[in-house]
Amino acid sequence: MTQVILKQAKIIDASSPFHNQVMDIKIENGTITQIEKEIAATSGFEVVNIPNLHVSQGWMDSSVSFGEPGYEDRETIENGLKVAAKSGFTAVALQPNSNPTIDNQAQVRFVLDRAKNQATTLYPVGALTKGSEGTDLAELFDMKNAGAIAFGDYKKAVQNANLQKIALQYVQDFDGMVIAFCQDSSLKGIGIANEGEVSTKLGMKGIPALAEELQVARNLFLLEYTGGKLHIPTISTQGSIKLIKEAKAKGLNVTCSVAIHNLVLNDEILMGFDSRYKVLPPLREEATRKALVEAVLEGTIDCITSDHNPLDIELKKLEFDLAKDGTIGLESAFGALLTILPLEVIVNKLTGNKLVFNIDNPSIKNGNKADISLFTTEENWIFGKENILSKSKNSAFLGQKMKGKVIGIYNNGQLIMNN
């Protein structure tokens, strides 16, 4: 275990008695043992003394894909967790879109075993249906017992309403959560970009906002009928925001997330036909981007995800309509967010992922486990290829302005620094 003294760190943690104060923090054997204005250097302790150092409760990313097992050429669990640590995340929820799909307890145990002894903790999401094929429910109860935190088919909407209904009813027996990606496949058709002015100019088949909103509305109706817990990931339209806001006002147990690229970029960036910007849901027009930012600020959107999805060059560097959807996002997450949102909101939404998935989130005070993200807030820079730590390089943020930098994390008794 690394013994650490963090010098002159501004604590951003509304649940801590030291919120917004600049303090020294002493960490022994993975536990915070002292928080004072000044702590003397101690033999055997590593000292972190960086100008403008800030710390918060550890961040969580609610949607990452690592490829392993089956797609190790895209990313491995070991390297993926190291990337997450250097990107400021002490926890990640791993999507089940590997090969084989994480749809049984053996697969859940496999990925947990591969994630042992890492600074960043991995939480598996089990597939909702066998093979994520949308036909039969997977072994949900067994996966929950093996360590799965929720159940959903990554980027695949369950088109069968009755199956979605049964899933919402079934998981209540063991306090499970259903993750429902929302997209009506018949309305999406062969669409590859947001349906609007840009797609029309470019001659691209459009994906209407209605494709998402119709499924959001259906799933919220089902939730009202069944009860239980529903998480709607990566919403991207103004109609989805309105529907979820109304459902929350009714008292339904629904949460939602937004992908960072949908908050920062709009569909005008597609004018160069660069497939790095092909994502699902697609980048929307500027008015919707602004509405998503507003929904984060007002609290309708509960958490923010990088929706990190590594894809190798053979899948990405193709004609726009043939390229696979997805971008990596861990390395650029914090720097991109700080260009559009206040710091406390970012910290709240990145730590709020843990609340959504009922994961312990210790505050920064004496006696608590040290589960901490370290970062600065002032530096302006441009995200370049040298900043990519993932095996795959498919970043939609290359050339984008960033603000602030991640220093690293302290978690599970380990200090990981981004240098």
* Catalytic site positions: 307
Strand pairing report for 150-151 and 46-48: unpaired
Kindly list the distances between the CA atom of residue 31 and the CA atoms of 3, 5, 257, in Å, as whole numbers in the listed order.
9, 12, 31
What token pair was written down for 409? Answer: 């994390």
Q: By the 8 A CB rule, do 327 and 306 touch?
A: no
3-state secondary structure the chain: CCCEEEEEEEEECCCCCCCCCEEEEEEECCEEEEEECCCCCCCCCEEECCCCCEEEECEEEEEECCCCCCCCCCCCHHHHHHHHHHCCEEEEEECCCCCCCCCCHHHHHHHHHHCCCCCCEEEEEECCEHHHCCCCECCHHHHHHHCCCEECCCCCCCCCHHHHHHHHHHHHHHCCCEECCCCCHHHHCCCCEECCHHHHHHCCCEECHHHHHHHHHHHHHHHHHHCCCEEECCCCCHHHHHHHHHHHHCCCCEEEEEEHHHHHCCHHHHHHCCHHHCCCCCCCCHHHHHHHHHHHHHCCCCEEECCECCCCHHHHCCCCCCCCCCEECCCCHHHHHCCCCCHHHHHHHHHHHHHHCCCCCCCCCCCCECCEEEEEEEEEEECCHHHCCCCCCCECCCCCEEEEEEEEEEECCEEEECC
- Tokens for 215, please give them: 């499924």
